[in-house]
Amino acid sequence: MLENPDYSSTAPAVPPLTRSVVCLNPERPRKLYRAGKGRYRDQKNATIPAQNLKAATDVEHSELLARIQVGGGLSGAIFGAGLVACLALRAFRRKTVVQDINGPPAESWLYGARPSKNHISLSTPPGNMLQLMFPPSFGSYDFLWQERYGLLYRFKGCFGENRLMVSDSTALQHILHNPTLFMHGPIIDNAAHLLEGSKSIVTIHDPIQHKRVRSVLNIGFTAGVIRGYEPLIRELAMDLVEKWQQIPAQRGSINVSPDLSVITLGIIARVALGRTLKDLGEELVQNNFESVELATAQTPTHLLIDAVAAHLPVPFLRATLYLPGQAMATVRKGRMLADQLGWDVISEKMEAVKRGLDVSGDFFGQLVGGRDSVSKTASLDEIVGQTAVLLIAGQDTTASAMAFSLVHLAKDQNLQESLRQEIYSQSDDIKYDNMLLLNAVVKETLRMYPAEAMTERIALQDTVLPLGASITTISGQSLNAIPIEKGQILIVNSGGYQRQSPRWGPDPHVFRPARWLDGSVPAMKDGIGVYSNLLTFLSGNHTCLGWRLAILEMQVILATLVSKFSFSLPEGEEEQVIPHFQSTVIPVLPNGKKGALLCISPIS
Ligand code: HEM
């Protein structure tokens, strides 16, 4: 992992601007105006050479949040016709450095491509959003644009908004490791508020509070604690083996995705709450499936709604929870059921503790049992507040990754057989971490198909973004850092980062687990991420809490299934799997249905 770059000795080159920029000094940012080549002046007319500009890392977060709220309040006041006018005006403002950054053409302000009779439709999202958010398959446009425009490029969001797509590792490191400078963007933040509530670890804005709650939650996700769940995962994997062994031989292919989702939900229910799927109740399980589906059921119209909603004041946004309609009913019910479940589990655990029973077998038990010592820094409210996020975050992400692994194993029979031989060569006491090919398959799957291939961040203040690889702007300037303004939306592009050559070898778009074993992946000085330099689980303060659990699940379940079944692809185009991106990367069939069809035969 990279350390935060030190700008005190080598100041990033700041490009000439035609408008005000911000002086970034660690104590206090202030507005600067250009005063000739390489020189700036502040409001008091003092001249400052460009090399004295420094990156800010230490601004009062509460102050920044207050500024964002004020921004929300202002945009609320101009909501309605005024909002659209304001969005239009913004598109025609004077040129900023961000506007000078190369990127794909989006020639129509509203529709993103040159309007033609066939193209104009109210359901066509403007800018490049349709291409990025609804590609024919995962990365169709993004990977191409990364090749063409580099590791940081500009694209058009709705209503002419300039957004930055970032897969430059130095810039990503800076964005993800400076929570006082960047936070979740408004769309992801609001979606998390609606689905998971304001106590969820994802929606806590204040970095200090977030750090405190995270440190408590980490207690249940250390390497040692997670290793202890291995027998449980094996047991649940064997339940799935039994189920699949009942499938009649003449059945042909089955969709493996729903069963994999059931097993991952079952694991998180046991690990986090000490409950079986049956204990959760049919209503909650069904609702959880529907909530997860909602996250991947975006339509082009949602993009337009999101684009307008991002400019509404926060209370308006939160009030969307009470809108009529099936989707919001599912969200409300999910929140209510998760809260109820969380409180039930906590009160049971507290009762058990009073009776002197050991409750340390699951996450909530560990937190409640250890309240007097380790976890007294989190309130019960804060613990219960994690129920929804754990049930949602822990389900489909891991299930989809395993579905992709199985599809690739079915495609490559030699790889599948080699993996089976590796599994058979283990003693009863399997050491999953030592199985080279198994781990290569896990890593290659997570590299190719990161569930959250793009995640949104917003700049909380004017700042400077350092780049590892310099870019050449439209006007021909070479930049190794770019000034960005408060409110700038940036997309953390894990998908693109994980398809860069030579970072991952010369063939980054090919599923080839051997790259992890034959030296094709060179040592990385600038790699980021908590697992094998991959960004799949992100990096920084919002790093996936369950990453160790997800990897153990993949290791144990894949090894168990491959040891008991042989997988092959069904015949016929219509049954092939396409990696699809719609908020998350999921496997879908050509008919658009989520899933992966595979032929499964038990090994006798
Ligand atoms: C392959 C499986 C998984 C992938 C690819 C994945 C990926 C991610 C990513 C990218 C984030 C950060 C999102 C952002 O801030 O924009 C995240 C956060 C999170 N994940 Fe996972 N995840 C996986 C499995 C799990 C599991 C099994 C759990 C269950 C415990 C889990 C729990 C969480 C939680 C609680 C957060 C929020 C952390 C925070 O905001 O501080 N994830 N995950």
What the chain holds in terms of domains, given with CATH numbers, is 21-196+453-497 (no CATH), 210-452+536-602 (1.10.630.10)
Please give the Cα distance from 232 to 165 (Å, whole number).
40
Of 276, 216, 267, nearest in space to 393 by CA: 267
| Residue 593 CA, ligand 1 centroid: distance in Å | 24
ipTM value, please give it: 0.98
Read off the pLDDT band of 562 (50, 70, 90): very high
| Residue 259 CA, ligand 1 centroid: distance in Å | 21
Closest residue by CA, ligand 1 atom 39: 542
| Residue 88 CA, ligand 1 centroid: distance in Å | 36
| Residue 543 CA, ligand 1 centroid: distance in Å | 7
For a mutational test of ligand 1's pocket, the pick from 263, 544, 554, 555, i.e. the residue with the most ligand atoms closer than 8 A to its C-beta, is: 544
Residue carrying structure tokens 């000439």: 16
Model confidence pLDDT, tens digit, residues 430-486: 999 999 999 999 999 999 999 999 999 999 999 999 999 999 999 999 999 999 999
Q: Is the Cβ atom of 459 under 6 angstroms away from ligand 1?
A: no
Q: Is the Cβ atom of 456 under 6 angstroms away from ligand 1?
A: no
Q: Is pLDDT of 221 > 50?
A: yes
- The residue length of the chain stands at 604
Model confidence pLDDT, tens digit, residues 392-413: 888 899 999 999 999 999 999 9
CA dihedral (81, 84, 90, 92) positive or negative: negative
Q: Distances in Å between the alpha carbon of 19 and those of 14, 352, 396? A: 13, 64, 46
The mean predicted confidence, pLDDT, of the chain is 81
| Residue 150 CA, ligand 1 centroid: distance in Å | 27
pLDDT of residue 157: 84
Asked if residue 23 lies in contact with residue 29, where contact means CB atoms within 8 angstroms, the answer is: yes
Q: Is the Cβ atom of 214 under 6 angstroms away from ligand 1?
A: yes
Atom of ligand 1 nearest to the CA of 389: 35
Asked if residue 243 lies in contact with residue 259, where contact means CB atoms within 8 angstroms, the answer is: yes
Q: What is the pTM of this model?
A: 0.83
The H-assigned helical ranges of 128-168 are 129-133, 142-149
Q: Is the Cβ atom of 491 under 6 angstroms away from ligand 1?
A: no
Residue 64: both structure tokens together: 């920044």
